[in-house]
Structures are given as structure tokens and as C-alpha cells.
Amino acid sequence: MLRTTIPVEHYLQGLWRNELGSSMTLLALNTTGTFLGFYHTAVTAANKQILLSPLQGAQQHPSAKRHPIFAFTVQWQFSDSTTALVGQCFVDHSGKETLETTWLLREEVTSHRDTWKATR
């Protein structure tokens, strides 16, 4: 779950942080609902220095609903893996926004035989 630390309109744009200390910056949506950004994770299973990683995604048209749905992928710059996330932005009565997400991480394995352990 990602929570914003600054108030922003419910168009996902801005800086978001989660309870583990990870953060992401989502840049402005274009007219088709796609966006770019960067993710900095605070946790990893890789034994490498954590690097800022690019993300790209799409949001349901912003005017369509008050609690928009979205999806994006993160191309990790420090490991042989990619994460796909889907979620929804909820706005409470005071205007606080919370992103609820579900994710899947896929890492490279050396053979088809090992594919069972490649996705978490």
C-alpha cells in the first residue's frame, strides 16, 4: 500500500511513499492516461546497491471515476527482474489519497525448468 505524503489531485501525479520507506514519483498523465515515473525501493532480495528505477503505466481516464484504477511496471536497474503492479487510488472524506496495490515480480532464471521459482 502506498500513501501520499503531500496532497495531490487524484490523478496519481506526485510523490508517494509506503510504510516500508519505498518511494515513487509519478509524472503527469498525458491525454491517453499513460504516465512515466521512478521508483526507489527500500527493500530488496538482491545483494546489490539499490538504484532508482524507471516505471511506466496507465490510468483509467481521470474524469471517469473518483477512485481511479491504474497499472504500471518497474524495470529494476539493479537486478534481473521486473515488477508489475495494479491498483486503485482511494480518496477519503478529508482528501487524503491512498494507493492500494497488488504486485507480481518476475526475475530471470537460467532454464525453463526453474520457471516455477521466478515469480513472486
Categorize the per-residue pLDDT at 32 as very low, low, confident or very high, splitting at 50, 70 and 90. confident
DSSP code per residue over 62-77: TTT-SS-EEEEEEE-S
% residues pLDDT > 90 (the chain): 56
**How is residue 51 annotated by DSSP?**
-
Query: Distance between CA 4 and CA 112 in Å, rounded?
Result: 40
pTM for this structure? Answer: 0.81
Residue 38 near residue 56 (C-beta atoms within 8 A): no
Tens-place pLDDT, residues 64-86: 567 889 999 999 999 999 999 99
**Choices 1.10.10.10, 3.40.50.1100, 2.60.40.420, 2.40.128.30: CATH for 2-117:** 2.40.128.30
pLDDT above 50 (res 8): no
Query: Distance between CA 91 and CA 112 in Å, rounded?
Result: 43
Residue 40 near residue 67 (C-beta atoms within 8 A): no
The dihedral through the CA atoms of 9, 10, 14, 19 has a sign that is positive
Residue-range domain boundaries for the chain: 2-117
Residue 85 near residue 66 (C-beta atoms within 8 A): no
